[in-house]
Amino acid sequence: MSASKARLILVPTPIGNLDDITLRARHVLEEVDAVVAEDTRVTGRLLQHLGLSKPLISFHVNNEHRMVQQLVQRLVAGERFALASDAGTPAISDPGFLLVREAIKAGVSVECLPGPTAFVPALVVSGLPCDRFAFEGFLPPKKGRRTRLEALRNEERTMVFYESPHRLQRALQEFTEVFGDERQASASRELSKLHEETVRGSLHELAAHFTAHEPRGEFVIVVAGKQEER
């Protein structure tokens, strides 16, 4: 039986632990005509690990606008593609949205397999309410960063941010300025890996922790919504 009937299939890939690839993901990667990949070396290594060999097509932030129509034309002509990013679910803070949108416009069937993504485990282990949440992904690195944060000042849902280790301390500092010292939060790093760790506490405590301990690895920061302070 086919693992998917769709022509374009988004395939989530492990965020650290290679065992997190699903059986269906493997099956789809085996079935498709080609794999559209954010970094062909990274996806090539994954395919090799799975014992598969497929044509790879490079598709990343710097060429997606140029490549998208060409890929859609090939899909319309009958080819089937898997789309994979370096880690996690494509289109979640990764390339993919543009291709999905244009494929849908052209009448191509699109499916996304369920699978690894960093924000779900981080949100769940934060211990903060996860019945409603706002996924914010990466804040703009420079221009518009403060404006985006200010717009969240009164957000009542739990908020989820992606951050690189070298900007973590700055982010925590900015969060204390906007949300206050006592707002509860968590920072998860190395999810699914050997040194997975989640630090929980007030924003003030988190900022102090990462001043004493240099941030290492990739982070998901989860911040309680405004109402949860009561």
Stretch that binds ligand SAM, among 55-63, 152-160, 175-183, 191-199 (CB under 6 A): 191-199
Least gap, CB of 76 to ligand SAM (angstroms): 26
Contact letters for ligand SAM, residues 138-177 (x by CB under 6 A):
------------------------xxx-------------
Give 4 or 89: the residue with its C-beta nearer to ligand SAM. Answer: 89
Residues 88-117 touching ligand SAM, rule: CB under 6 A, are 88-89, 92-94, 117
Q: Distances from the Cα of 79 to the Cαs of 89, 200, 226, in angstroms?
A: 22, 47, 48
Indicate whether 220 belongs to the interface with ligand SAM (CB under 6 A): yes
Determine which residue in the list 15, 75, 84, 187 makes contact with ligand SAM, applying CB under 6 A.
15
Report yes or no: 125 and 200 within 8 Å, Cβ to Cβ.
no
CA 106/CA 108 separation, integer angstroms: 6
| Cβ closest to ligand SAM, residue 15 vs residue 74 | 15
* Residues 6+ positions from 214 with CB-CB distance below 8 Å: none
DSSP 77: T
Asked if residues 114 and 4 have their Cβ atoms less than 8 Å apart, the reply is no
Q: What is the rounded CA–CA span in Å between residue 47 and residue 30?
A: 9
Q: For residues 40 and 85, which CB has a smaller minimum distance to ligand SAM in the complex?
A: 85
Main-chain phi, psi angles of 163, to 5 degrees: -150, 145
The nearer residue to ligand SAM, 42 or 178, going by C-beta atoms, is: 42
125 vs 186: CA distance, rounded Å: 9
Interface ranges with ligand SAM (CB under 6 A): 15-16, 85, 87-89, 92-94, 117-119, 162-164, 188-193, 218-220
